[in-house]
C-alpha cells in the first residue's frame, strides 16, 4: 500500500514552503514517526515525518521545489522495514528499482535509523562537511540528541581538520556542479603573448547557490522596510562602567542561583522598556491612517542563525526578571541551534534589539522590522578616553543606534529615547527602583 507524504499545515498566514533536504533516499527504509524531509518557510524550518513504517518509494518534489499545503512530496510503500535475512526483493515488485536498492541498504539503515533520529539536521550537515563519525559525538540535547554545538565541540577537542583539507595526492580543481556553473574559461595559450596581456587563469569557476526561503523573505522584508518607512537613525554613546561592575560582582552568584550567565542583554531589555514607557510612539505601529499604541512590551531579540537572521520574541518582557530574560534568550539560542524554533516563538513583537557587538561591530544603522517603528542597535564595548569631571579617563564605552519610522516618531523623541536609555544603563539602580 502506498502512503503519500504531504505538506502539512504550516501555521498562521504561511501557505507555501520550499523543500529543503530529503533526509532519506529512494529505496531506504523509514520508521513510523521518523523525519523524512525538511521544509523551509519564511519563518521556520520544519521536518515532515513518516506516518507509517515502510520504504521511501518515490520522491515527488526534489530539494529546492516550492510547494503548498496538501501537495504530495513523495510516497512510502507500507510494510516491515527489516525483512528476514536472505530475503530478496524481486525486480519490479511494488517499487521496482528503488525496492532492489532497498534490499541492499535495508539492514544497515535499520540499524542506524534509531541513531539518526537523535541527530538534528544542522548537526548532521556540519558532521558531513567535516567527515565526523556521529557515533563518536556525545549528545547534550533532549534525550541525548546530538546538536550542532556538540559536533563543534567535538571538532574543537579533536582538532579534526575540515573534510576538504584532506587533499588527494593529485591536486584536483574544486567540484562545482556543471549545471549550476558557467564553464571555466580555458584560453588557448598564444604562441607569443602581446605586451600587457594578462596571463591565463586556471580554476576560475562560479557556483550558483539557491537562496533559502528564509533568506528570500529577509531580503524582501528589508527592501520593503526601506521603501515603506521614512527610516532614520540617531546615535548616542553609553558608559558601561556601572553595568560591567555589577556583572563583575554578581556574575558567579547569579549563575550559581539561576544556572545562566548574567549578560548585557537583560540590562538593555529593561532599559529599553523604561525608555519605551516614556516615549510610547516607539512601541507602536501604523495601520492605514491610524497609530496603534501598544501598552504591552513584546521585545524581539535578533539572533544570527545559520539559515539567516531570526527574531524570537520575549512576551511581556516588562514582567520578566533579569534571570527570566537571560534564561529565555538561552533557550531561544538552543532552539535555533537545533532548528527547533516554532512560529509562536517568532510571532508579533513591538520593538526589536539587535546586537552587532557580538561580531565586533563598532557602529551600524539597523533596519526596521516591520510593522515595528523602532529598533535598537547595540555594538562592541571598547575602552576609550572620555572627559569626566574635567579630566580624561578611560571608560568602557558603547555606541548605540536607534532606527525609527519618522512618519510617527519625531527626531526629538528618538534622541530623548536614547538619552533616557543612556541614563538607565549608566545608573542601573534606577532599573530596579522604577521596575
Catalytic residues: 406, 410
Buried b (16+ CB within 10 A) or exposed e, 147-180: bbbbbbebbeeeeeeeeeeeeeeeeeeeeeeeee
**369 within 8 A of 352, measured Cβ to Cβ:** yes
Strand segments, DSSP code E, in 26-154 are: 29-30, 35-40, 45-49, 54-59, 66-68, 72-78
C-alpha cell at 267: 540590562
- Distance CA(404)–CA(376), nearest Å, equals 9
C-alpha cell at 190: 598564444
C-alpha cell at 284: 507602536
**375 within 8 A of 222, measured Cβ to Cβ:** no
Single out the residue of 259, 267, 246, 225 nearest to residue 422, CA to CA. Answer: 267
H or E, element range at 273: helix 265-278
Amino acid at each position: 500500500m502506498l502512503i503519500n507524504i504531504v505538506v502539512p499545515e504550516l501555521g498562521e498566514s504561511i501557505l507555501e514552503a520550499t523543500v529543503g533536504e530529503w533526509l532519506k533516499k529512494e529505496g531506504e527504509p523509514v520508521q513510523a514517526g521518523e523525519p523524512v524531509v525538511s521544509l523551509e518557510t519564511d519563518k521556520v524550518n520544519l521536518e515532515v515525518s513518516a506516518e507509517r513504517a515502510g520504504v521511501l518509494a518515490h520522491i515527488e518534489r526534489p530539494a529546492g521545489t516550492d510547494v503548498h499545503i496538501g501537495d504530495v512530496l513523495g510516497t512510502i510503500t507500507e510494510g516491515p522495514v527489516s525483512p528476514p535475512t536472505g530475503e530478496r526483493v524481486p525486480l519490479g515488485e511494488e517499487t521496482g528499482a528503488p525496492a532492489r536498492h532497498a534490499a541492499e541498504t535495508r539492514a544497515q539503515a535499520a540499524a542506524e535509523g534509531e541513531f539518526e533520529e537523535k541527530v538534528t539536521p544542522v548537526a548532521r550537515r556540519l558532521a558531513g562537511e567535516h567527515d565526523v563519525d556521529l557515533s563518536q559525538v556525545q549528545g547534550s540535547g533532549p534525550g541525548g540528541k546530538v546538536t550542532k554545538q556538540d559536533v563543534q565541540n567535538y571538532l574543537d577537542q579533536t582538532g579534526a581538520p575540515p573534510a576538504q583539507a584532506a587533499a588527494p595526492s593529485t591536486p584536483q580543481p574544486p567540484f562545482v556542479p556543471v549545471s549550476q556553473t558557467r564553464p571555466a574559461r580555458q584560453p588557448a595559450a598564444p604562441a607569443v603573448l602581446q605586451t600587457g596581456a594578462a596571463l591565463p587563469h586556471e580554476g576560475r569557476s562560479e557556483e550558483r547557490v539557491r537562496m533559502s526561503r528564509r533568506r528570500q523573505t529577509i531580503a524582501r522584508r528589508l527592501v520593503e522596510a526601506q521603501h515603506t518607512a521614512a527610516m532614520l537613525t540617531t546615535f548616542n554613546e553609553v558608559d558601561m562602567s556601572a553595568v560591567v561592575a555589577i556583572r563583575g560582582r554578581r556574575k558567579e552568584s547569579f549563575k550559581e542561583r539561576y544556572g545562566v550567565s548574567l549578560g548585557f542583554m537583560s540590562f538593555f531589555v529593561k532599559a529599553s522598556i523604561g525608555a519605551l514607557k516614556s516615549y510610547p510612539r516607539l512601541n507602536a505601529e501604523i495601520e492605514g491612517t491610524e497609530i496603534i499604541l501598544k501598552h504591552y512590551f513584546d521585545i524581539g531579540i535578533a539572533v544570527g542563525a545559520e539559515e539567516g537572521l531570526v527574531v524570537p520574541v520575549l512576551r511581556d518582557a516588562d514582567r520578566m526578571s533579569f534571570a527570566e530574560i537571560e534564561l529565555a534568550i538561552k533557550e531561544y539560542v538552543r532552539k535555533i541551534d537545533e532548528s527547533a524554533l516554532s512560529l509562536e516563538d517568532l510571532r508579533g513583537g513591538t520593538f526589536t534589539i539587535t546586537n552587532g557587538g557580538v561580531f565586533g561591530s563598532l557602529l551600524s544603522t539597523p533596519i526596521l522590522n516591520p510593522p515595528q517603528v523602532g529598533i535598537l542597535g547595540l555594538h562592541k564595548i571598547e575602552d576609550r578616553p572620555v572627559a569626566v569631571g574635567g579630566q580624561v579617563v578611560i571608560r568602557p564605552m558603547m555606541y548605540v543606534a536607534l532606527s525609527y519610522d519618522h512618519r510617527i516618531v519625531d527626531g526629538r523623541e528618538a534622541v530623548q529615547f536614547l538619552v533616557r536609555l543612556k541614563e538607565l544603563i549608566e545608573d542601573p539602580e534606577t532599573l530596579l527602583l522604577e521596575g
